[in-house]
Amino acid sequence: MSIPCCSKTRASEKAMVAGLGALNLFGVIVLGSMLKKNAVIESRNVARKQRARALELPDPALRRKLVNARDMAKRTVIGADRIVYTTEMDVSDQEYESREWDRRFRELERSD
C-alpha cells in the first residue's frame, strides 16, 4: 500500500478550508467575548442579590440607619408654606417682587 506524497485537492478547495478555519476562529473569539460579558452580568446579579439579602436581614448598624432614614423621610414634608418659587404662571406673567421673595426665604432659614 503506497501513500501519495501530495494532496489531490484543488487550490479553490484549500482556500475554502482556510476560509472555514478563519470563520471558526472568528466565531470562537466572538462567543468567548459574549460568554465573558455574561460572566460580568452574572457577577453583578450575584452582588445585587447579596445586597437585597442584607436589606432583608440587616445587621444592627444597618438596621439603625434604615430606621433613621425612614424617620427622616416622614419628617421632611414640603408644603405650600415652604415653597419659595413656583412655575405655576408663565414667566412673562410673573411679577418678581424681590422683597417678598427675600422675606419668605429668611423665614424658611429661621424655621430650619
Alpha helices, DSSP H only, in the chain?
A: 11-56, 60-75, 98-111
**What is the C-alpha to C-alpha distance for residues 107 and 86, in angstroms, rounded to an integer?**
17
Distance, C-alpha 103 to centroid of its chain: 42
pTM of the model: 0.35
Question: What is the radius of gyration, based on Cα positions, of the chain?
Answer: 35
Helix axes 11-56, 60-75, angle to 10 degrees: 80
Q: What is the mean pLDDT of the chain?
A: 82
Predicted local distance difference test score (pLDDT) of residue 110: 82
| Residue 77 reports pLDDT greater than 90 | no
The mean per-residue pLDDT over the stretch 52-64 comes to: 89
- List the chain domain ranges: 11-111
Q: Which three cell numbers stand for residue 50?
A: 447579596
pLDDT tens for 35-55 read 888 888 889 999 999 989 888
